[in-house]
Amino acid sequence: MHKIILLAGLCLTTAWLACAKKVVCVYDSVSDQRMGIGHFQINDIEPHLCTHLIYSSVNVDSNFQISLNANDGTKFPLIMELKKSDPHLKTILEVNLISDPLVQELIATPENRATFIKSAISILREPNYIFDGINILWQNNMDDFQKYIDYFTYLIEEFRKEFNKEAERRGSDELLLTVSVSAEPTVISQSYDVEEIADHIDFFNVMTSDIEMFVLNVQPSFSTPEESFAKAVSAVNFWNQTGVPSHKINMGIGVFGEAYTNDSQGMIQAEGGLLTDVPKGFLARYELCSFLDGPLEASSDKNVVFDDIASIDAKVQYIKKHHFGGAFVLSLDLDDFQQVCSTSDKKYPVIQHLHDELVEYY
């Protein structure tokens, strides 16, 4: 029998913060290569939903410069077109330094860091597709973690210095410098000198929505909504207590579900969904229709865990009550963007709900 694990009726007493929050949305740039219902294109994006749009992601070449493929060059101008519909929208280019094989060499010397930063500014300020900033996806996977903590600190300090100089030279707003960071205290302590980088970074996207599973290609966590909420709260509080002001911290909120079965030996086995470019066990929101719409046939033994609106609201209320910066959403292409489910009274039901609850300038 289907076991649908939901967090219902979790309510928190809130003190509402009277300023707008951020809804930072990830756009997975390979989602246009999916087939069928998962095929997602830039023209599927509704720009008003998000305050910040992260284009995920680009890599670094052997010369330590940002490397763009032909698809990036085609998509960047389309991303910029979104800003014509919503002048408030900020667009951010993400560089994934977690899985980059050159990362050790890239951040280890001032010369390589300078080359990287210069190439980033050049791309961000390209007249045909001006981005508003860069997002660095980083956690330390090297054994000599203290050395690479220092290297990453230097990289952040040098980015800020060059962004400041570039803005003064142009007489323009300074480019945004943001980071997507771990939610695990042990990883945090081995990856970041929080006090040193906090002043230089505009906001931190805390990966409390299992984004690590996408970048590191490991198994899903099968977290219940209660566990998901507790982990999210613990992570943002840890970052805050370690030295990051609350208004700079965005809580990660996922729009996907996780599916698994228990085999005859009692072992948990991930259940695959439609998407082949995410780890087995992840289901997009539009794959959860049967669980959102009502009971299914009694013959299935599949377990599905996901956040319903009540559990998402618990996170929203926590963000408001404790004056955190907003939500970091993974991802646009995993929400019900085609309004497939009968329970979806609008496209992007989760992200639209987050927007309605957090963003106040519309």
DSSP state letters, 128-197: TS--SEEEEE-----SSHHHHHHHHHHHHHHHHHHHHHHHHHHTSPPPEEEEEE---HHHHHTT--HHHH
In this prediction, residue 345 carries a pLDDT of: 85
Q: Are 280 and 358 in contact (CB under 8 A)?
A: no
In this prediction, residue 214 carries a pLDDT of: 67
In this prediction, residue 221 carries a pLDDT of: 82
Structure tokens at 312: 């998402």
- Spatial separation of the C-alpha atoms in residues 181 and 258, rounded to whole Å: 22
In this prediction, residue 157 carries a pLDDT of: 98
Q: Quick one: which of 306, 286, 304 has its CA closest to 296?
A: 304
The per-residue pLDDT string of the chain (362 residues; one tens digit each, 9 = 90 and over) reads 444 443 333 333 333 334 679 999 999 999 999 999 999 999 999 999 999 999 999 999 999 999 999 999 999 999 999 999 999 999 999 999 987 889 999 999 999 999 999 999 999 999 988 899 999 999 998 888 899 999 999 999 999 999 999 999 999 999 999 999 999 999 999 999 999 999 999 999 999 987 677 666 677 888 888 999 999 999 999 999 999 999 999 999 999 999 888 877 878 888 888 998 888 889 999 998 877 765 444 445 778 888 888 999 999 999 999 999 999 999 999 999 999 998 888 999 999 999 999 997 54
Q: Quick one: which of 217, 205, 225, 198 has its CA closest to 137?
A: 205
Q: Which CATH number fits domain 15-255+312-358: 3.20.20.80, 3.30.70.600, 2.130.10.10, 3.60.9.10?
A: 3.20.20.80
In this prediction, residue 7 carries a pLDDT of: 34
For 57-84, give one letter per residue: b (16+ CB within 10 A) or e. Answer: bbebeeebbbebeeebeebbeebbebbe
In this prediction, residue 300 carries a pLDDT of: 56
In this prediction, residue 267 carries a pLDDT of: 83
- Spatial separation of the C-alpha atoms in residues 14 and 5, rounded to whole Å: 25
- Number of other CB atoms surrounding residue 337 within 10 Å: 26
Per this entry, what is the length of the chain?
A: 362
Strands 133-137, 176-181: pairing kind: parallel
